[in-house]
């Protein structure tokens, strides 16, 4: 019960951030909400120019979305530690559960090229009134590759909210949890 009470303010804070207008203006024409002074995990922060280019790449990737059923276009651009950018979009399927989100497509593309850790991902959609937010499955997929990399939730005008994976998926389960001590003498009574 105590944990759920603590999560309510966090969830409400996130809802307010995603729907309220931005409060801090960057040196470019874009508006941002940034509640980190440096990149999570002690890494050097992503430059403002690189953030803008990453968001632009996600907006371009959105143009390729295949979404005849939902008509909800999403694009993503993923930045690796050696500054390579991978892009992807959502791809729907007539068998709805076989569709793929932009974030998972993009990360899978990078993994297929040998990458396993990332600096940042930018996500774009056609939502004007709020910042795009990844689904729960994509949050867990991102978490597989670390909890402290940056996530830029954007709007079509280029404004964004900067978060990290641990903020999007607090109290998460990741690969390191599989190596924790487990109870092995559980009877199978099926």
Any idea which residue has 């076989």 for tokens? 98
- 10 Å Cβ neighbour count for 28? 12
2 is catalytic: no
Cα-based torsion angle of the residue sequence 76, 80, 83, 89 in order, rounded to the nearest 10 degrees: -20
Distance CA 73, CA 105 (A): 13
State how far the alpha carbon of 144 is from the alpha carbons of 14, 45, 147, in Å.
22, 21, 8
Indicate which residue of 92, 103, 150, 167 is catalytic: 103
Distance CA 12, CA 3 (A): 15
State how far the alpha carbon of 160 is from the alpha carbons of 39, 59, 143, in Å.
16, 12, 20
Distance CA 18, CA 160 (A): 9
Tell me the catalytic residues: 103
């Amino acid at each position: 019960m105590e944990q759920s009470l603590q999560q309510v303010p966090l969830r409400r804070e996130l809802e307010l951030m995603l729907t309220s207008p931005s409060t801090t203006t960057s040196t470019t024409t874009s508006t941002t909400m940034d509640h980190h002074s440096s990149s999570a995990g002690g890494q050097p922060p992503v430059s403002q120019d690189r953030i803008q280019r990453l968001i632009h790449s996600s907006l371009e990737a959105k143009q390729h979305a295949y979404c005849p059923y939902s008509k909800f276009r999403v694009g993503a651009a993923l930045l690796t530690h050696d500054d390579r950018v991978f892009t992807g979009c959502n791809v729907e399927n007539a068998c709805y559960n076989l569709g793929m989100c932009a974030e998972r497509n993009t990360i899978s593309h990078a993994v297929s090229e040998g990458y396993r850790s990332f600096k940042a991902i930018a996500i774009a959609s056609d939502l004007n009134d709020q910042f795009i937010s990844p689904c729960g499955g994509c949050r867990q997929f991102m978490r597989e590759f670390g909890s402290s990399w940056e996530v830029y939730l954007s709007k079509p005008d280029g404004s964004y909210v900067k978060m990290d994976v641990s903020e999007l998926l607090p109290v998460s389960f990741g690969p390191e949890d599989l190596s924790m001590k487990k109870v092995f003498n559980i009877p199978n009574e099926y």
